[in-house]
Amino acid sequence: MAGCDLVPVWRSRGGIVVRKLHGFTLVELLVVIGIIAVLLGLVLVSLARARESARSVQCLSNLRSLGQAMTAYVQRYERFPRCAVEPFYREDWFHWSDTATVHLKKKGGIGEFLNDGGSTSSSVWVCPSDDMETHLVRTGNDPKYRFSYSVNFVICTYAGINQQPGGRLSAWPTEGLPPLPRTMSYAQVKQPENKILIIDESSETIDDGAWAWQWGVNPGRNILSNRHDKKSEKSGDYNAGYGNAGFADGHAERIPRIRTFNQKYYDPFLPGSSPLPPPAVTLPGGE
């Protein structure tokens, strides 16, 4: 008989008595296969989430290491290092560019406080989930910034902050107006535990070592990455997901992207009087 086996159980005068042992029908097999496929899919999703969670933890560890190196730099030199944009200085926090002069030795100002000396080949500069090939293409000799992190331009500004007529501010030198100190001291940063110093920047926006959207230097750029959510970066969406950031006191944590647009989290002069204008964008809610 198709679909079953005949197994003798005992003999009697009337002949052989048998019991039917039924196998799986096609429908039952398909149901079992479907259940296994669903369970396997759930396992794979869980494994992918676990891997991404581990990468996020490594990214936070990188930010913590960089933040602690920043703290050590400030303790030694009494000011934060400069942000790493052209023109390059010895005091830049990270010497990433091939056009930096030879004496910089492709290390950062904070390199001496990192375990490996701050070599650009170190994994501490790169989020393990970041795809360098998706970074913005630059002009000149440095086509791409092949690293993941950028620092608060307000705290680490390299050219000074200038008050312009009408209360406007510029990140660039203005003739006849005295600039503020080129970088800030730790004492000048109010509530450093709340001030974002360094971010894991979106691969759609990162082009150098400065997080500078607040100044309008790069409108629409310099956005906190939400790559660990495994969603589209959506760099035009101010409220899309969470990302990793380091703070001026050296700690790092996962924060909502919207927080990076809140002035109390990036403006080192707050609480109190601040020379910075409010954000140039209208935000949907916030903290």
User: Residue 190 and residue 195: Cα distance in Å, rounded?
Assistant: 8
Residue 58: how many other CB atoms lie within 10 Å: 17
Which pTM was predicted? Answer: 0.74
Count CA atoms within 13 Å of residue 174 on its CB side. Answer: 13
- 63 sits in which H/E element: helix 26-77
Which residue is it, tokens 């390059």? 88
Q: Which pLDDT value is given to residue 68?
A: 92
User: Residue 258 and residue 271: Cα distance in Å, rounded?
Assistant: 19
Contact 22, 4 (CB under 8 A): yes
Q: Quote the strand ranges of the chain, DSSP E.
A: 4-12, 15-22, 149-152, 162-163, 169-170, 196-200, 210-211, 242-247, 252-256
Which residue is it, tokens 């933890």? 57
Q: Which pLDDT value is given to residue 144?
A: 76
Q: Which two tokens stand for residue 131?
A: 């795809």
User: Residue 249 and residue 241: Cα distance in Å, rounded?
Assistant: 24
Q: In the 8-state DSSP scheme, what is residue 18?
A: E
User: Residue 53 and residue 49: Cα distance in Å, rounded?
Assistant: 6
Q: Which pLDDT value is given to residue 99?
A: 56
Residues in a beta bridge with 170:
162
User: Residue 196 and residue 206: Cα distance in Å, rounded?
Assistant: 17
Which phi and psi (to 5°) does residue 168 adopt?
Answer: -75, 155
Contact 281, 262 (CB under 8 A): no
Q: Which pLDDT value is given to residue 253?
A: 95
Angle at the Cα of 110 (from 102 to 151), degrees rounded to 5?
105
Residue 233: how many other CB atoms lie within 10 Å: 21
Question: If the chain, 287 residues long, is cut into consecutive pieces of 10 residues, what is the mean pLDDT of each piece?
Answer: 49 54 74 87 78 90 93 89 74 71 55 76 87 76 78 74 42 41 81 95 87 60 85 76 93 92 88 74 57
User: Residue 62 and residue 65: Cα distance in Å, rounded?
Assistant: 5
Q: Which pLDDT value is given to residue 47?
A: 78
